[in-house]
Amino acid sequence: MKTKSNRWHLLLREFFICMLVGVMALSGVTDSQAQSEPMKIGIIGTGKIGGTLARHWVKAGHEVFISSRHPENLQSLAQELGPKAHAGTPREAAAFGEVILVSVPYAAIPQIGNDYAAELAGKVILDTSNPFERRDGPMAAAALKQGAGKASAEFLKTNRLVRAYNCIPAAVLAGQATRTHDRIAIPIAGDDAEALAVAERLVRDSGFDPVVVGTLEDSRIFELGQPLATGQMTAAEMQQKLKELKKGTK
């Protein structure tokens, strides 16, 4: 009888597990989503892009550390965002985050890679920065020739970099994140699958739809002035445009 009772308990347990999995599937909840936790995000460069993303991510439940060379100027934003926000130096942000957003003038990226190499090592880095030769000097032209994504990865000494948010206007990022239909797409690209998955999650949590374009080499297609850099496409429109572009290169 004891063996029979144990068998019934096992059968009941398996039945309830199957029921739970079914309910999760019907509700659109995956196992990874069910186990997902808020992330710690360090933001190096809290201008219009970095500051707006800090707001979106805190609203989504993440903890952020905003930073700049003048952290005293960020105290009011940190207070506005509440207990999930902290303000300080770029080094403190690099040490704090499990994910790092770099949103600075492009000429500053090599110094960030040198100064905070220990703090950044092994972390997922989202890079929003665009090279402008007029502002950043000759290094910008060299970065564009190589491809900004690959150049940033070399400067920051990482293979876990994802290009993201570099081609969406700040006003659109701030004002269009509440759409419930036809959400605007953010193209992303990277060489590390896990880093891309993290970026996809954070793009969704900021109120937009991620579209994985490919590797860092492929990120050239959404550099400023390129076909996917409109900041206005939906995910379906961007995926269709991407198919057309790939078909045209065959």
Whether the per-residue pLDDT at 4 is higher than 70: the answer is: no
Q: What are phi and psi of 242, to 5 degrees?
A: -65, -40
pLDDT in tens, 193-211: 999 999 999 999 999 999 9
Nearest to 149 by CA among 230, 213, 220: 220
Cβ-proximal residues to 173 (8 Å cutoff; 6+ apart), any chain? 48, 49, 52, 53, 165, 206
Residue ranges of domains in the chain: 38-248
Instruction: Tell me the pLDDT band of 68, cut-offs 50, 70 and 90.
Output: very high
List Cα–Cα distances, 111 to 1, 36, 128, 147, 154, in angstroms. 72, 33, 16, 19, 12
Instruction: Tell me the pLDDT band of 14, cut-offs 50, 70 and 90.
Output: very low
Window from 22-31, 84-93, 224-233 with minimum mean pLDDT:
22-31
Average pLDDT of the segment spanning 137-145: 97
pLDDT in tens, 208-238: 999 999 999 999 999 999 999 999 999 999 9
The strand pairing partners of 40, in sequence order, are 63
CATH number of 38-248: 3.40.50.720
Instruction: Tell me the pLDDT band of 249, cut-offs 50, 70 and 90.
Output: low
Nearest to 234 by CA among 172, 171, 166: 172
Task: Fill in the DSSP letter of residue 234.
Answer: B
DSSP assignment of 172-232, as one string? HHHHSTT-SSSPBEEEEEES-HHHHHHHHHHHHHTTSEEEEEESTGGGGGGSTTSTTTTS-
Radius of gyration of the chain (CA): 21
